[in-house]
Amino acid sequence: MSRIMRGALGVSLALAVSACGTWQSVKDGTVSTTKAIFETKVKQMNLVVTARGALNQDARGVSLPVVLRIYQLKDNKPFATTTYEQVLAGNDALKAATLSSRDMTLGPGQTLEVSEPMDEAANYVGVAAFYRNAESAEWSVLVAKARWKKTDPVRLLVLERSLEIDTEHR
């Protein structure tokens, strides 16, 4: 083989090997960009929970505190299908989907600000309110992780017998 042919072959081989590395870099960069655009990266869960003055009233009309349980969840299905009684009894019904949970007490007219790291694997935050009389109460809210990208903090209202997302404060 002539010297020119060997040189051309060496240059071709070097280009081919470096092109593989370049292609891998371009591919990795594209994957990173796609993840940054389409995957929800939320590092902090910021919630503002406000209770109305008339909250969880007893038979005499006296407002009482309500206990809130905040869950970081991998999956929304168990939380959406679990009954009030199951959640009140403990976390067993939600065990497979729960990454973390935290209980807090909210008094009438009180506002709580909750700020904690969002688990990387969390896709939803579920909040349950434990009322004295949960019959016909709207006791739970499920918030997709993507909502924190649009609204931070996410604001919740705790009313006499319902828990809801506050859409007036965006």
pLDDT in tens, 33-66: 655 555 557 888 999 999 999 999 999 999 999 9
In this prediction, residue 38 carries a pLDDT of: 56
CATH 2.60.40.4150 assigned to domain 44-165? The reply is: yes
- pLDDT at residue number 37: 55
CA gap 44, 112 in Å, rounded: 16
Model confidence, pTM: 0.74
Strand order in the sheet with 111-117: 111-117, 44-51, 154-158, 163-165
Supply 49's token pair: 């929970």
Residue with tokens 């869960």: 45
DSSP string, the chain: --HHHHHHHHHHHHHHHHHHHHHHHHHHHHHHHHHHHHS----EEEEEEEE-SS-S--TT-----EEEEEEEES-SHHHHH--HHHHHH-SGGGTTTEEEEEEEEE-TT-EEEEEEEPPTT--EEEEEEE-S--TT-B-EEEEETTHHHHSSSEEEEE-SSBEEE--S--
pLDDT tens track for 74-126: 999 999 999 999 998 886 889 999 999 999 999 999 999 999 999 999 999 99
